[in-house]
Amino acid sequence: MRTTVLERVRHLRRSLPPLVAAAAALVLVASLGAQEGHPLSGTWYGDYTSGSQKRDLTVIMKWDGTTVTGSINPGKDARPIKAVVMTITPGKPAPEGRDSTEGTPPVFQVRFEVDGMTFDGTLQNPVGGNRRLVGNWSRGSERGPFQIRRL
């Protein structure tokens, strides 16, 4: 059975929109996975130590293009983050021809304040999927370590 050119054109017109939609969806999914966004954006979970007791800590941060905002322990007891500051000390590449482990990586210092508490830490693996923020917290004379990881 022979198909005419007109039949082929009609078939192509019917099948082209679903193919274009599928291709666009694939491009969108690929681009979403490639863009991590700001290193602090996301939900972080961990704990902080007060005296000899560990307390759970959930932090949600969002970057709006100019500032980082968020809250601690979402739910009925949520408290807004008042200030977030990230300071980046540039690293130093390894000398040419040397092993990359001879260079110095950049250091990401992060400080945020919530309800009279100040959390000051170093962001580990800032571009990796296993980001962690490790440091110390303080409120008046109270102090202790904290660590949170991005989920």
- Please, are residues 58 and 45 in contact by the beta-carbon 8 Å criterion? yes
Q: Which helix (H) or strand (E) holds 93?
A: none
The secondary element (H helix, E strand) that includes residue 50 is: strand 42-50
Over the chain (151 residues), the average pLDDT of each successive run of 10 is 64 57 44 59 94 93 91 91 92 81 88 95 87 96 96 89
Q: What pLDDT is stored for residue 29 in this prediction?
A: 41
Any idea where the domains of the chain sit in the sequence? 1-35, 42-150
Q: What distances in angstroms separate CA 68 from CA 35, 65, 106, 110, 129, one per listed residue?
A: 17, 8, 20, 11, 19
CATH architecture of residue range(s) 42-150: Beta Barrel (2.40)
For the whole model, what pTM was predicted?
0.70
User: Which pLDDT value is given to residue 96?
Assistant: 85
Using CA atoms, how far apart are residues 119 and 96, in angstroms rounded to an integer?
A: 38
List Cβ neighbours of 15 (8 Å cut-off, separation of 6 or more).
Answer: none
User: What local confidence, expressed as pLDDT, does residue 98 receive?
Assistant: 72
